[in-house]
Amino acid sequence: MDKTRAGYQEGIVSIITNTALFGLKLWAGIVSGSIAITADAWHTLSDSLSSIFVIAGARLASRKPDKDHPFGHGRWEHIASIFIGILLGIIAWGFITDALEQFHKRESATFGTLAIVVTLVSIVAKELLARYAFHLGKKADNNAIKADGWHHRSDALSSIIILVGIFFTHYFWWIDSLMGAIVAIMIFYAAYSIIRDSINKLLGEKPSNALIVRIEEIMGTLYQQDLLAHHFHIHNYVNHKELTFHIKLERNMSLEKAHSIATEIEETLFEELGVRATIHVEPIDVSHKFD
């Protein structure tokens, strides 16, 4: 599936669903006087805001390469994910401070049937949204959509914690404050995971062992001799990947022949893996500091 289309599709579905859930949760939170449910309502609304980032990221990432950006704009997808993570962190901090203030004032909530029903509806709806986002994100290989899926799931998990806490509110006056703090910690962790993964991809990652093995297998089908491939580097631009590595060939081989071998490998890797490779050729009995 096209990344841009998938981003638009997931974002629009998320915005509509989350705005409706926000209204329901906010109503239940006000009626019950629960900081946990009210905080969860704003967490849900933040999902709509993060979906706006997904749509904007998909739009920016779909732009064609230009003079200033010859590798395209695909990394906007990672930047959008970082914005989502920062947004989650800000919201989580607000929940923590509200929960501590409520605990300090020894305030408790009064949960009724409305709170239970709304929380159950939220759990089901948010888990379905998370599964939908994970499905689209995997199908389109879009990290921003996957990040939004974790945002949905963190909301579903926070609602489960609130539902459990509702049944203990008559025994512990501080249960609502505790639930609010737990929800905030869960959101903090989701924010950390999203930002960490996106930054790792922006900084650059080493090729996986599985990818290197696959590359060696492909070269083995083309040439019987071991080309001693090494010094692998991969650059992930989301919409495409650039791979560089070195191979060793016989010292007396003609430049034309060496070029032919490197070009055939590059073309085959693109056909098999969708990776654009650039190969540096070295004499088999020569080494340098990059080996």
Q: Tell me how far the alpha carbon of residue 130 is from its chain's centroid.
A: 12
Between CA 132 and CA 284 the distance in angstroms is 51
Place of tokens 């019987």: 224
For residue 275, what are the β-bridge partners?
241
Pair 143, 198: CB distance under 8 Å: yes
With a CB cutoff of 8 Å and minimum separation 6, the contacts of 28 are 34, 37, 41, 114, 115, 118, 119
Q: Which of 79-93, 127-141, 235-249 has the highest mean pLDDT?
A: 127-141
On the question of pLDDT at 107 being above 70, the answer is: no
Q: Is the dihedral of CA 77, 78, 82, 85 positive or negative?
A: positive
* % the chain with pLDDT above 70: 83
Distances (CA, A) of 116 to 23, 104, 150: 15, 26, 23
How would CATH label the architecture of 209-283? Answer: 2-Layer Sandwich (3.30)
CATH no. of 3-203? 1.20.1510.10
**285 compared with 89, residue with greater pLDDT:** 89
Question: pLDDT (tens digit, 9 = 90+) per residue, 207-253?
Answer: 788 888 888 888 888 887 888 888 888 877 666 677 888 989 888 88
Question: pLDDT (tens digit, 9 = 90+) per residue, 142-186?
Answer: 777 787 787 788 778 777 877 877 777 777 777 777 777 877 787
Q: What is the mean pLDDT of the chain?
A: 79
- In the chain, where the domains are located: 3-203, 209-283
Amino acid identity of 67? K
Question: pLDDT (tens digit, 9 = 90+) per residue, 40-69?
Answer: 787 777 767 667 766 766 666 666 766 776
146 φψ region: left (φ > 0), alpha (ψ -120 to 50), beta (else) = alpha
* pLDDT value for 104: 75
